[in-house]
């Protein structure tokens, strides 16, 4: 199949490269000439494990190409995917669909023969109807069907998720479009990936509902973590105990500093706005969003308590800046409000992240000091805070970390280390949903 992918950001680039790896002919289109030039040189605009190799291999095999010109690839395509950004709109939190509708107009002008036009971007319910209206208004004689095909990719595991999906949701009632979509995803037949055909609006809602439900699980276990600390329980054991119930499942039950990234914060807010527009308020989702925002700010108070009640002129070493490991994505990362609050409390912040420091410099205050390793980050620090669970942080030489620090205080916001292990190395340890563990002797300068 000949595929035009409009947008070469995270979703468009990963999807386009994977479709090409299936054997389809794919052209990724983007108006950002610098991004396209970089892609032609094999330079990725994002960090995603395995993506550079996947793109490079399919470019060499002449199955994947990049261009700034939309007309030719669209006119030759059997299917056109719209995978442009849908950020939260300033002022009201609705999804900004400007890029989607602009792309729809340009696609309509370039179509030649029947084409399936697929929204891969995350869009509110009813967007497909408006895309169809915009396209027909732009060009009444165009022959096309608008399809909803939401993505369910986890950053850091996107390629595997695309090639081994839990499900493929296709929203269309057009038989010609169904045939096109079946052929596009036919290579996944051996993986027995279930394809769910449904009505377009239903497919759009499935995406938002899935993200809202997962965000709810995260927020639920975070609130259980707060209670566990108060009553002397261990939230990790609580999560394991409820996760063994197959009605609940163990995924997304890891307590931490709150969810971030490009999807959950934006999509929960957009779903809330949709509910308000249709006079069907989503009280649970509203609470999830509010609790998550409050939690991110509360993490600084946990660091403050671990430091004895004052961070004035103390150095806090922050390990991990991205919202999750195996990505360089800083969007809505819990590290942003945490570091801002620590600085407001008078702390000097030093930070290290394996992939996210370049992006962090664009969103964090300018007086953050960046280190070139976890050990350099810990040098002379009064408190060490683990924010992102990178694998590199799971097996630190705790003896070396302790020796580097001014005072061995660890705040583990991802529960990477067992409290007893941290205490064995002499750390005063604070985790999430666990009782704090003191080391054997009082730390100088701390109460």
Q: Considering only CA atoms, which of 87, 12, 85 is closest in space to residue 48?
A: 12
pLDDT for 441: 41
Average pLDDT score over residue span 276-295: 96
CA angle 219, 222, 224 (to 5 degrees): 115
**Collapsing DSSP states into helix, strand and coil, what is residue 238?**
helix
pLDDT of residue 436: 73
Helix 264-277 / helix 283-306 crossing angle, nearest 10 deg: 150
Determine the topology of domain 2-198 in CATH.
Rossmann fold (3.40.50)
What's the pLDDT at 442? 41
Range of lowest pLDDT (93-107, 182-196, 417-431): 182-196
| SS3 state of residue 286 | helix
- Give the other-Cβ count within 10 Å of 107's Cβ: 29
**Whether the predicted pLDDT of 123 surpasses 90:** yes
430's enclosing H/E stretch is strand 428-430
The answer to whether residue 444 scores a pLDDT higher than 50 is no
Give, in degrees to the nearest 5, the angle at Cα 56 between 52 and 59: 140
Q: Mean per-residue pLDDT for 305-329? A: 96
Residue 432 pLDDT: 96
- One fold for both 2-198 and 216-292? yes
Domain locations along the chain: 2-198, 216-292, 296-430
Q: Report how far residue 30's alpha carbon sits from residue 48's, in angstroms, rounded to the nearest whole number.
A: 19
pTM: 0.91
Residues carrying an active site annotation? 263
For residue 405 the two structure tokens come to 């620090």
d(CA 237, CA 242): 9
| pLDDT tens digits for range 401-419 | 999 999 999 999 999 999 9
pLDDT-based confidence at residue 446 (cuts at 50, 70, 90): very low
The candidate with the shortest Cα–Cα distance to 312, out of 346, 343, 341, 339, is 346
Interstrand relation of 348-352 and 315-319 (parallel, antiparallel or unpaired): parallel
Look up the CATH number of domain 216-292.
Answer: 3.40.50.720
Residue 400: the pLDDT is 97
Map residue 378 onto helix, strand or coil.
Answer: helix
Q: Residue 297: pLDDT above 90?
A: no
Q: 297: how many CB neighbours lie within 10 A of its CB? A: 15
Of the pLDDT bands very low, low, confident and very high (cuts 50, 70, 90), residue 445 is very low
**For strand 315-319 and strand 383-386, is the pairing parallel, antiparallel, or unpaired?**
parallel
Calpha distance 226→139 (Å, rounded): 56
Residue 331 three-state SS: coil
pLDDT score for 28: 98
Single out the residue of 310, 440, 299, 280 nearest to residue 382, CA to CA: 310
Query: 296-430, what's its fold?
Result: Rossmann fold (3.40.50)
User: Residue 75 pLDDT more than 80?
Assistant: yes
Q: What is the mean pLDDT of the chain?
A: 94
């Amino acid at each position: 199949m000949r595929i035009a992918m409009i947008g070469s950001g995270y979703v468009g680039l990963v999807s386009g490269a994977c479709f090409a790896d299936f054997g389809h002919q794919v052209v990724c289109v983007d108006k950002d000439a610098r991004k396209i030039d970089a892609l032609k040189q094999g330079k990725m605009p994002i960090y995603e494990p395995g993506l550079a190799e996947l793109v490079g291999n399919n470019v060499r095999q002449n199955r994947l190409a990049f261009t700034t010109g939309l007309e030719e690839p669209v006119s030759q395509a059997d299917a056109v995917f719209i995978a442009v950004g849908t950020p939260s709109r300033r002022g009201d939190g609705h999804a900004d669909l400007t890029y989607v509708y602009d792309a729809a107009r340009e696609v309509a002008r370039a179509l030649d023969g029947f084409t399936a036009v697929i929204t891969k971007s995350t869009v509110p319910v009813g967007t497909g109807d408006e895309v169809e209206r915009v396209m027909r208004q732009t060009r009444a004689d165009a022959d096309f069907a608008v399809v909803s095909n939401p993505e369910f990719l986890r950053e850091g595991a996107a390629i595997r998720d695309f090639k081994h999906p839990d499900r493929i949701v296709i929203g269309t009632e057009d038989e010609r479009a169904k045939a096109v979509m079946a052929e596009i995803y036919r290579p996944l037949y051996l993986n027995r990936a279930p394809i769910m055909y449904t009505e377009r609006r239903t497919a759009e809602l499935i995406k938002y509902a899935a993200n809202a439900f997962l965000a709810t699980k995260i927020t639920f276990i975070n609130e259980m973590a707060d209670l566990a600390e108060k009553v002397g329980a261990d939230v990790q054991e609580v999560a394991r105990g409820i996760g063994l119930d197959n009605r609940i499942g163990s995924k997304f039950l890891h307590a931490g500093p709150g969810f971030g990234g490009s999807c959950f914060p934006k999509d929960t807010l957009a779903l809330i706005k949709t509910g308000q527009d249709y006079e069907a308020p989503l009280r649970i989702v509203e609470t999830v969003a509010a609790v998550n925002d409050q939690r991110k700010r509360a993490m600084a108070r946990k660091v403050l308590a671990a430091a004895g009640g004052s961070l004035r002129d103390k150095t806090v070493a922050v390990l991990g800046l991205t919202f999750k490991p195996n990505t360089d994505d800083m969007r809505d990362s819990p590290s942003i409000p945490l570091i801002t609050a620590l600085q407001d409390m008078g702390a000097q912040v030093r930070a290290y992240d394996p992939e996210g420091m370049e992006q962090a410099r664009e969103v964090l205050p300018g007086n953050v000091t960046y280190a070139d390793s976890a050990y350099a980050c810990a040098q002379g620090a009064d408190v060490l805070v683990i924010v992102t669970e990178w694998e590199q942080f799971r097996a630190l030489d705790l003896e070396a970390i302790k020796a580097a620090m001014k005072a061995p205080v660890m705040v583990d916001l991802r529960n990477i280390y067992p409290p007893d292990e941290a205490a064995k190395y002499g750390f005063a340890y604070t985790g999430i949903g666990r009782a704090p563990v003191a080391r054997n002797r009082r730390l100088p300068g701390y109460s």
